[in-house]
Structure 1
Amino acid sequence: MALTHRTLTHDDLPRFQRMVDAAFLGETPDEGAERYRELFEPDRSLGVFDGDELIGGGGAQTRDLTVPGGGPRPVAAVTSVGVKPGHRRRGVLTRLMRAQLHGLHDEGREAVAALWASEASIYGRFGYGLAAEFTRLSVPKNAAFHAGVSTGDARLREVSRDEAMPHLKAVYEELRPTRTGWLSRTEPSWAHQFADEERDRGGLSSYRWVLHPDGYAVYRVKQDWQERGPRCELHVREMAARTPEAHAALYRYLLDVDLMGELKFFTASDDPITHLLGDPRLALRTRSDSLWVRLVDVDRALAQRRYGSDVDLVLEVSDDFCPWNAGRVRLVIEGGEANARRVDDAPDVRLDAQALGAAYLGGTRLTSLARAQRVREVTPGAVAALSHAFLGDHEPHCPEVF
């Protein structure tokens, strides 16, 4: 039977959730699907059908993403993309991705899409580039800071969820416009980020909420009582601070919690903890991919962020999946502002949409992509100049999986 696809409705949510669970080898109780109803945007969700059977699908959340120097910009936060076992290798995902990206373009909606990839080999063929990474951090208890660190004299308190949430939201919203990779949060997305039912905990404790006047930390505990004494793990879910002093104070508090043996945290790749410590080797770090970014409309997307240096270069962009992006674009950057227009001039740099997506948040160097043979230099020095312009002031980081 021929495959079909269509936009979903609110009534499709239960079987859509069952399809996602099957694709990710998970299981959601029937009543659990209702928890996702306020996150579910049916008009932005597509289903692929084999007859009447929903065999694949995916959606997008309407969010803002902070881009380098440009503050929050609209992004299609692509989510819940999956294909049921037994229906793979039939072109379902390709059909879905084409319908979604072409729909975004035809409707003139977001110029940028972003997602977390279940497998890193999947989304490059649809023009998504690896734009941000995170660090899995592990630090032993009582790890000492270097002698010059100030943690101030502010009192840190552990409070209830109800007391903590207004403070979290205020700090997050204040910081978000300057933190590349951070997303806007609606009330349902706040609830989802800090969902705390038993099935959300993965064998850990409920959340504990730490407040500093200029920041916060949220963590869980994994119990581990050994013969030589307790070695409980403290798993940080999120930490944010307005000042370096508050950031250091929160880390100091967490590292000194009684009965713990190790602090675990998935954090920004340029988290300053290694430079806070007197012995930086105490911070064990493993990097992995986080945000994959796709420029839906190259010309519009390039103009939505700011840049670190001036350039005037012609880019020859290839994009088989979204052919309206293909062609030559003169990118003129002056004073951080970009103008992109179509030209027939000879190119200075050749690259594809995946490379542009990877570099977009300022964390992936175009010079590195050139060494990986994903970017081709035509005019000597052009790649280095373009790479410098794209770099951000800090590593992009998305503190939530959506």
Structure 2
Amino acid sequence: MGDDPFTVRVLTVDDVVPLRRVLAGAFLTDLDEDRPERVEHVIEFDRARGVFHGDEMVGVGAVLTREITLPGGVVAPAAALTAAGVRPGYQRRGALNRLVASLVDGVPEAFAVLWASDGAIYGRFGCGSLASDLVHVALPHGAAFHAGVDVGDAVVREVTREQALPVLKEVYERVRTSRVGWLGRTDGSWEFHLADEDRYRDGLSAFRYALHPRGYVVYRVKTAWDERGPRDELHVHELVAETDVAHAALYRHLLDLGLGGEVTHHTAADDPIPHLLANPRAAVRRRHDALWVRLVHLDRALEQRRYLSDVDVVIEVDDPLLPRNAGRWRFTVEKGRASVRRTDDEPDVSADVAALGSAFLGGTRLSVLARAGRVREHTSGSVGALSVAFLAEHAPHCPELF
């Protein structure tokens, strides 16, 4: 097929049907060309790219314009990479390389975020894995709280979708600026997040909505029976609370619903729910990677967030894809704010750009990455000092796919 048989161009609304075909092929899903896909609620065609072999679209990818909360409560613009895929037959031929390089290099935001469908792919593009975690927690129906838990006196009300949506948007907007990793949402991203056609339910019920005066929960139900009787499953899609009392009250509401079974939720690594239980072992947890981070303009990105402690080190960065990030940078933090400047001084620490992306949201310790060979220390104590500075006050968590 030659050295480089592919071309890349910006997509338009006229490309929507071939885009659907590519994504259906890449992710082995059924295709209905007459019915819009959920991604069409959010896609920005001027930020979408297609990879073409001749006149045939064989790969697609898009960037969404979003905001994200960084450590220190800083709300910053982020490029959210999504809908990236290559048709069968054209994989492992360089099409994805062309696509991702085109998307990343053209990003004006200081950094990009993504969910990686394949954990072996995106590290080679300088994307840092495990930048945030997702914990799947399963709780048995009726699980008791310990005696000191305050659930307040407010009633949690089950409401319709139409009644819920305005409240959800208001509460989420108030909460997101205090939660590292939470994204700003447009009307389109709300439609994407709460898409509720049968094909998105995975055999479960339609969304159900419950409101607390200081929070809400969105969930689905699967009714089931076994030899011991009913075993209803409640699958939490999103739980948002402005206060600890609201958080406890919403969980209490879920645990008391239905008959038998369990409540499951993909939640933050530091969700206190196990500590609310009289028997913390009743919360069975599995941890997964969530957001990956790609530092696109390294100095701007590192200066946007806040840090837990002062530090002054020289970091030598390796970034083959974006040479503008490579080289030595003096990284200085005073009173939580960073200054990042070019320098010729000898490095205290060496790291690839993906390692800094992994640590960017404050959830992955640079000291752990050093043990894994992703970070190297040249000056004793420098990795430890840098690692502490990068930590966030809360575990980073992104409650939505995009």
Per the shorter chain, which TM-score range? over 0.9
State the alpha-carbon separation in 1 of the partners of residues 364 and 35 from structure 2: 38
Measured on the aligned residues, the alpha-carbon RMSD in Å equals 1.0
Distance in 2, Cα, partners of 1:287 & 1:34: 29
Structure-2 separation of matches of 1:260 and 1:191: 32
In the alignment, structure 2 segments of 5+ residues that lack a partner are: none
2:105 matches 1:102: yes
**Which of 77, 80, 83 matches 1:80?**
83
Written as runs of structure 1 = structure 2, the 5 A alignment for 1:262-281 is 262-281=262-281
Q: What SS class does the counterpart of residue 30 from structure 1 fall into? A: coil
Structure 1's 191 and 81: CA in aligned 2 closer, same or farther, altered over 3 A? Answer: same
- Pair 1:210–1:260, CA change in 2 (3 A): farther
SS of corresponding position for 1:250: helix
Moved more, 65-74 or 354-363: 65-74
Match of 2:124 in 1: 125
Q: Does the C-alpha gap of structure 1 residues 377 and 251 become closer, same or farther in structure 2, counting only changes over 3 Å?
A: same
1:70–1:304 CA contact under 8 A, matched in 2: no
Correspondent of 1:91 among 81, 90, 94: 94
How many residue pairs get aligned? The number is: 398
Residue in structure 2 matched with residue 27 of structure 1 by the alignment: 30
Paired residue secondary structure (2:106):
helix
Kept after mapping to 1: 8 A contact 2:38/2:195? no
Q: Is structure 2 residue 327 aligned with structure 1 residue 322?
A: no
Q: Could you tell me how far 1:34 is from its partner in structure 2?
A: 6.0
Q: Deviations over 1:40-90 (max 9, x none)?
A: 211111111111111011001100011101422111100000011111111
Instruction: Provide the rounded CA distance (Å) in 2 between the counterparts of 1:218 and 1:56.
Output: 34
Which range moved further: 128-137 or 224-233?
224-233
Query: Which one of the candidate residues 61, 67, 72 is aligned to 1:69?
Result: 72
User: Quick one: percent identity of the two aligned structures?
Assistant: 56
1:131-170 matches, within 5 Å, as 131-170=131-170
Return structure 1 stretches of 4+ with deviation > 3 angstroms.
Answer: 34-38
Once the two structures are TM-superposed, the CA of residue 3 in structure 1 deviates from its matched residue by 1.3
| Offset, 1:35 | 5.1
How big is the shift at 1:102?
1.4
Gaps of 5+ in 1: none
Contact 2:137 2:283 in 1 (8 A): yes
Q: For 1:191-210, what aligned pairs fall within 5 Å after superposition?
A: 191-210=191-210
Alignment partners' CA distance in 2, 1:321 and 1:36:
28
Tell me, in whole angstroms, the C-alpha distance in 1 between the residues paired with 2:203 and 2:13: 32
In structure 2, the residue matched to 1:304 is: 304
Code of the residue aligned with 1:14 in structure 2: it is: V
Query: Residues 41 and 192 of structure 2 are in contact (CA less than 8 Å); yes or no, is this contact kept in structure 1?
Result: no
Q: In the TM superposition, what whole-angstrom CA distance separates every residue of 1:305-351 from its partner, at most 9, and x where no partner exists? A: 00000011100001011111000000110000111000000101000
SS in 2 for 1:168: helix
Letter paired with 1:123: Y
Residue type of the partner of 1:149? Answer: V
In the other structure, the counterpart of 1:376 is 376
Larger CA deviation: 319-328 vs 253-262? 253-262
Per the alignment, residue 241 of structure 2 pairs with 241
